[in-house]
Amino acid sequence: MPGDLPTLPPVRLPSDAELARDALAAPLLARAVRLARWAGPGTRVGAGGELVDEQLPAAAEVLGLGDELTEGDGEAYASEAWRVAVDTGLVTVEDSDEDAHGRSDEDHTAGRVTAGPQLGRITSGSPQDILSLWLDALDVVFADATAPVLDDLAAAIGDDGEIDLESLDWDPEAEAEFLEGVLGNLYLLTLADGDAAEGPVPLPVLAASMIVPEDMGDPTDDILEQVSEAMMRLDDQFRLLEPIGLVSYTPVDEALMAEDSEDQANGSTPSIDAEDVTRYGMVQLTPLGLHGIRSRMLAAGVDAPAVGDLADKDAHALLDGVAHFPELSARAETEQWLARRAPAEAARELLAAARGTDPGAPLRRLHCQQALSLVGAEAEPAVREVLDDTELGGLARVWLAELGAGDVPPPPESMIFWLAIDTIAAQLDAEDEPAELQELVESLVGRHRGFFDAAWRVDHPATAEVLEAMGRLHRDRTASKDARKAAFKARSRGSA
């Protein structure tokens, strides 16, 4: 996972019940469960708990992996599913020199198989139990995905039949870190716009995100070769990760890779044509995959929020929490928070939390106003209670006007200017598009003659900072100069 432990955009996930259904439907876990229910004391296993070769055809038959697969594939799938069943506790293999029928290790029986502690949870466990089991299965598959490839292992087997791990060009920690980074980048690309991406990510894009330096212009041939090698490794890994339900994956077109190999043999570096990019593999995290990667990130100490995390928190936590959420995610989070509270109670709690002179207060007030718009007219009594409040009176009048309420008292001039400074401070903190903020600044100055003569006197913690920003943003040179002068006056006033 990313090493600097960043805060990520919030992810919108289905309910635990829906995710648990997806987990049980994942082909690999479903096969592991089926084998666990089939297995018993007569199941023959090796010293490592693996099914013996003579047992694999029966296991493949139980899974229905027969005629439609290439010879040997069904047994390979059965072996993989059995390993998941053992490692997740769906079955238990107890060491035994001799089983109930008197068969010894020489008869290929190295343990006694019984139902594992996790098997009962498939039918009686909670959604959280199912998801915990699935995460354990994901760990098993992740370990397989970062293991050396079979060709490397075959070459490392010595005369004694043992694998010489030191002879392998394989660093398990580096392999795991690389795949974690790839999955973290895929997670970020999925949430780039604050919600699930519309489609899959091309494998070249994902590989390049790990290989190509951000400040590099045109990649060198060496970098392109590294990207190509990473793509092929990722192709193998995503083929393994798809059956557990983590991703939806379209593999690399083998015919296309053969063409690239021919190009390389001719001394040319293959280029990825935009029209052919889908042939180089396309990958997309499933909703279950988003849950899985988020769980791994949280375990690694990364702040990876999900919409709904703040539903049980107080209003201050909500307004601070959604401060830098994308718009759709902020609205969804607020709706979940409001759904658990009576409208009038929620409105009063939001208004109380919006008060303050700390740096985050202006943005809290902005999100308070947006949250109140979701409450609707039932918030009106609570909003009218703060009409005379210095910090909330301007917000309250704007909200009431947008509601179409009557009998709203006009604000004093001091409140108008205080609200203007507070609004721009909030927008600066929200890091809105410069063009939109520029339009807001020029609109405010245009509507109020002598704006800067009054603005520098506003008793707001952000007055000087806002006026300096207005000087940078306003395109009229005279207005820009007036803003900078006003900022200087505000600072001098503050230090007096």
What pLDDT, in 10s, does the model give residues 367-424?
Answer: 999 999 999 899 999 999 999 999 999 999 999 999 998 889 999 999 999 999 999 9
Rounded Cα–Cα distance for residues 208 and 216 (Å) = 11
- Give the lowest-confidence range in 29-43, 52-66, 77-91: 52-66
Query: Three-class SS of residue 249?
Result: strand
- Note the Cα 54 to chain centre separation in Å: 43
The domain ranges of the chain are 16-125, 172-299, 315-411, 416-495
Pairwise CA distance, residues 280 & 428, whole Å = 42
CB neighbours (10 Å) of residue 142? 21
- Summarize the confidence of residues 289-296 as an average pLDDT: 97
Cβ(395)–Cβ(369) under 8 Å?
yes
Place of tokens 């709706």: 335
- The terminus-to-terminus CA distance of the chain in angstroms comes to 50
Q: Which tokens is 15 given?
A: 């309910």
CA–CA distance, 344 with 324 (Å, rounded to integer): 26
pLDDT in tens, 240-288: 999 999 999 999 987 776 665 555 555 554 555 555 677 889 999 999 9
Q: Which of 365, 489, 343 is nearest to 422 (CA)?
A: 365
With contact defined as beta carbons under 8 Å apart, do 252 and 279 qualify? Answer: yes
Cα–Cα dist 267/212, whole Å: 22
Write out pLDDT tens, residues 220-245.
Answer: 888 888 898 999 999 999 999 999 99
Three-state DSSP state, 52: coil
- Which region, left, alpha or beta, applies to residue 308 given φ > 0 means left and ψ of -120 to 50 means alpha? left
In the beta sheet, which residues pair with residue 112? Answer: 94
In whole angstroms, what is the distance from residue 219 CA to residue 198 CA? Answer: 28
For residue 103, what pLDDT band results from cuts at 50, 70 and 90? very low
pLDDT tens per residue across span 174-183: 899 999 999 9
For Cα atoms 391, 394, 399, give the angle at the middle one, nearest 5 degrees. 120
Instruction: Output DSSP code: residue 231.
Output: H
Report the C-alpha dihedral over residues 161, 163, 169, 170, rounded to 10 degrees.
150
Tell me what the pLDDT averaged over the chain comes to.
Answer: 86
Quick one: the chain helix, strand, coil %, rounded to 5? 60, 5, 35
The H-or-E segment that residue 91 falls in is: strand 91-95
Cα dist. 410→238, 392, 394, 395, 406 in Å? Answer: 63, 14, 10, 12, 11
- Lookup: tokens for 394: 């301007």
Using pLDDT thresholds of 50, 70 and 90, give the confidence band for residue 106.
very low
Closest CA to 13 of 181, 137, 187: 187
Instruction: Please give the pLDDT value at position 13.
Output: 93
pLDDT of residue 477 exceeding 90: yes
pLDDT at 193 over 60: no
Confidence check: pLDDT of 322 > 90: yes
Can you list the positions of beta strands (E) in 133-208? 201-202
Q: What is the pLDDT of residue 307?
A: 93
Beta carbons within 10 angstroms of residue 407's beta carbon: 6
- Name the pTM for this structure: 0.81
> Which has the minimum average pLDDT: 49-58, 130-139, 313-322?
49-58
Specify the pLDDT at position 89: 95
So what's the pLDDT on residue 7? 67
Check pLDDT > 80 for residue 361.
Answer: yes
- Output the CA angle 114-76-53, nearest 5 degrees: 60
For 271, the 3-state DSSP assignment is coil
Statement: residue 152 has pLDDT above 80 = no
Given a cut of 80, whether residue 195 has pLDDT beyond it is no
Closest CA to 46 of 108, 95, 99: 108
CA proximity to 307, closest of 282, 293, 325: 325
% of the chain with per-residue pLDDT over 90: 64
